[in-house]
Amino acid sequence: MATATSIRPATVAAAAALARIYNFYIANTVVTFEETPVSAADMAARLAATAALQLPWLVADSPGGVRGYAYAGRWKDRSAYHRSVEIAVYLDSAFTGRGLGTQLYAALFESLRHTDVHVAIGGIALPNDASIALHEKFGMRRIGQFSEVGYKLGRWVDVGYWQCVLPARAEPAR
């Protein structure tokens, strides 16, 4: 029997669940290049920073709690990059392969359509066929690859970048 999942904006109340989900990837994968576990306070600070930029951070909730999240963050600090974001999605490791990543990205892209964001960029530690398929499902195309830019879990890791230009937002009627 399928359980209902809802997608909603993240709040500080979800910070511990976000940290739990992300810490799995820190400890066990090369999906993120962070190597030190994060606390709920760390995640709360990241949520606040994202909110200050007026960018979306969404969670997938089911009756058992938060099962995943997706967000858009600053691509680079230089001011001319202000309309470009880097996007990411992380799922509870017990809930992968169930379409939650697709649901989260669909909601994230819909949220971005209501902002002044022009380009969304996704960085993917390679190889990662599932993440590549997810990004390409949303019209993102591969734009480049950096070889051996990260060293984690005893190996060098390549990172590929995917991007898409978002449809122009309709101007308000005058």
Q: For residues 116-143, give the mean pLDDT.
A: 97
Q: How many Å is the maximal CA-CA distance in the chain?
A: 59
Q: For residues 50-75, give the mean pLDDT.
A: 96
Question: Mean pLDDT for the chain?
Answer: 94
Q: For residues 142-148, give the mean pLDDT.
A: 98
Q: For residues 76-102, give the mean pLDDT.
A: 95
Domain ranges of the chain: 6-124
**pLDDT for the residue numbered 172:** 47
Fold adopted by 6-124: Aminopeptidase (3.40.630)
Residue % of the chain over a pLDDT of 90: 91
Is residue 72 within 8 Å of residue 113, measured between CB atoms?
no
Q: For residues 120-139, give the mean pLDDT.
A: 97
Q: What is the pTM of this model?
A: 0.93
Alpha helices for the chain (secondary structure H): 15-28, 40-52, 100-112, 129-137
Structure tokens at 77: 């600090």
pLDDT band with cut points at 50, 70 and 90 for residue 91: very high
What distance in Å separates the CA atoms of residue 17 and residue 67, rounded to the nearest whole number?
8
DSSP codes of every residue in 131-158: HHHHHHHTT-EEEEEEEEEEEETTEEEE
174: pLDDT strictly greater than 80: no
2: pLDDT strictly greater than 60: no
**pLDDT for the residue numbered 1:** 36
pLDDT band with cut points at 50, 70 and 90 for residue 4: confident
Structure tokens at 49: 């920073």
pLDDT band with cut points at 50, 70 and 90 for residue 170: low
